[in-house]
Amino acid sequence: MLTDYHTHTERGPYTVEWLLHFIETARSRGIEEYGVSEHAYRFKQTAHLLDNPWTRERRTEDLDEYYGMILAARQAGHHVKFGIELDYIPGTERELETFIRSYPFDYVIGSVHWLGDFGFDLLEMKSQWVNRDLKKTYDEYFSILQRMVESQLFDFVGHADVIKVFGHEPNDAAFLQDWYERLAESFAHNHSVIEVSTAGLRKPVGKLYPAPQFLSTCYKYDVPIVINSDAHRPEDVGADYDQAIALAKHTGYTKLITFSQRKRVAEPIS
């Protein structure tokens, strides 16, 4: 079994014709469980969950049209899971819970992309890294990530150490390992799943998410995994899975999690 639940079709229209490009790539790469997980900030239905000048300019879509594409694909005989990627902003838990219950998602990805008004993984804001204290930024990111998991609102954690996206990594193994231990313990306590994502290989950092030592620490705490690409283009679905599978197996993982209607099942990794 191989999965790719973290994909985005947002560069094209919400039509089955466009979605088929992603589905066909998934099939060609042996992906048996394929799902779409659009960024929630793009939809008018989520304006109350995350609102800033950057998201306001990009809130151009209707979530019902997205869901309609999934339903049409299923009616045409394609096995497609319906997901969403939500930005976690501390203090919005009640609103997030209400929104999550309003659609029949197969899974909900929880991600942290914003530290206040700093979109740390955005090219438009990359220059702000110069003026930031690296360890304090990591502390802030990991603290919010832990709060997100403790909310127990999400089915799995998206790209758990995406904070390293531009290659800004503390040269302090003990500092990072302390956070890995705290987070892995929290993931386990809150019954969370994390993804092994190939997206970082296509970013400036050039590395998988999460770091091998982070994943190893999660394995020690019996935290389950999914394997995803975070593809934004059809050609990136299932990209570099040989590296993700090798890391997962080398760490000790033999199973990954599949989702349907927010219920999870462990399956052997292909």
CB 148, CB 112: distance < 8 Å: yes
pTM for this predicted structure: 0.97
Is residue 249 within 8 Å of 269, Cβ to Cβ?
yes
Residue 106 has pLDDT above 90, yes or no: yes
Which pLDDT value is given to residue 75?
A: 98
User: What is the residue-averaged pLDDT of the chain?
Assistant: 97
Task: Enumerate the β-bridge partners of residue 12.
Answer: none
Q: Is the pLDDT of residue 223 over 90?
A: yes
Q: What is the pLDDT of residue 270?
A: 81
- Domain containing 151 — which CATH number? 3.20.20.140
Whole-number Å distance between alpha carbons of 28 and 93:
39
Predicted confidence (pLDDT) per residue in 158-208, tens digit: 999 999 999 999 999 999 999 999 999 999 999 999 999 999 999 999 999
Nearest-angstrom CA–CA distance, 210 and 90: 22
pLDDT of residue 213: 98
Average pLDDT over residues 81-96: 97
Mean pLDDT of 229-256: 98
pLDDT at 27 (0 to 100): 97
203-213 pLDDT, tens digit each: 999 999 999 99
Domain housing 263: 3-268
- What confidence category does residue 265 fall into, taking pLDDT thresholds of 50, 70 and 90? very high
Q: What is the pLDDT of residues 111-135, one digit of tens each?
A: 999 999 999 999 999 999 999 999 9
Identity of the amino acid at 113:
H
Supply the pLDDT for residue 93: 97
Note the pLDDT of residue 250.
98
CA gap 217, 267 in Å, rounded: 21
| Total count of domains within the chain | 1
Q: Which whole-number Å values give the CA distances from 68 to 21, 50, 81, 105, 149, in the listed order?
A: 17, 23, 12, 13, 30
Residue 210: per-residue pLDDT: 98
Q: Which helix (H) or strand (E) holds 22?
A: helix 16-28
